[in-house]
Amino acid sequence: MAVLSGFEEASDQDNMPPYNVFRSISISDDFPVKIPSDVGLDELTEEQVEELYWKINFQWDFDEDTTRLFGCEVFSFDPSMLNMSLSYKYTRYITFYKIGLGPRNEVNPNQWIMKTLGQIRRDLNHTKRQIDILKIDIEGSEWTSIPQMVMSGTLRSVKQMQIELHGSGTKHDLKVLRMLYEDGFRLFMRDRNQDCRYTRSRLARNRTACMEISMLRVMY
């Protein structure tokens, strides 16, 4: 996908610590555990993890697996889950908020409450807390939200990002990804979402319209 053109995967040349990515691990012989393949584990197992996750769509698998494996605290957000209350304690470690992530604080035409990452952290009194995993799937709004997060300095407290990128890959998209690179993140995994495709009429070919990427902060 063109939006990743010009990006480097994390390597020793980036002075990057030896993060590992696993598709499965075994905590003990009788307790095999399947974990997401796009999570860097080396630092996550050392202490309690905090995760912020946008777009639940009533699917809690990632949230539940992360808390089960790492004993972390997860804050999940999705303004489109209309039948949910504004805030909801799903489990002891998972809290849901009916709030969307955007480049500004507003109520959008769908009457969804949208807030910046910085504002949400202030509302939760989390401005001094480290975010170990920031997982974002906001249906194309990442291209306006990411620049705001970078320029405001909010991402300085984020150690790892998992983002689903939407679109066909424009020069603007590449500039947004370059902002993450210059802010200290390095790509360590990418994967095409085969359920998100479009047909390019001129070539009569199916193309992937969504790319899932994972990035680690290697510079502060």
Of 168, 207, 215, 167, nearest to 190 by C-alpha is: 215
Domains observed in the chain? 2-217 (3.40.50)
Query: Cα–Cα distance between 145 and 32 in angstroms, integer?
Result: 38
pLDDT in tens, the chain (220 residues): 222 222 233 333 333 333 333 222 222 233 333 334 445 444 444 444 566 666 566 778 888 888 888 888 889 999 988 888 888 898 888 999 999 999 999 999 999 999 999 999 999 999 999 999 899 999 889 999 999 999 999 999 999 999 999 887 789 999 999 999 999 999 999 877 656 555 555 555 566 668 899 999 998 7
Q: Is the dihedral of CA 140, 143, 149, 152 positive or negative?
A: negative
At 86 the pLDDT is 86
pTM of the model: 0.72
Per-residue burial over 110-137, b if 16 or more Cβ lie within 10 Å, else e, is eebbbbbbbbbbeeeeeeeeebbbbbbb
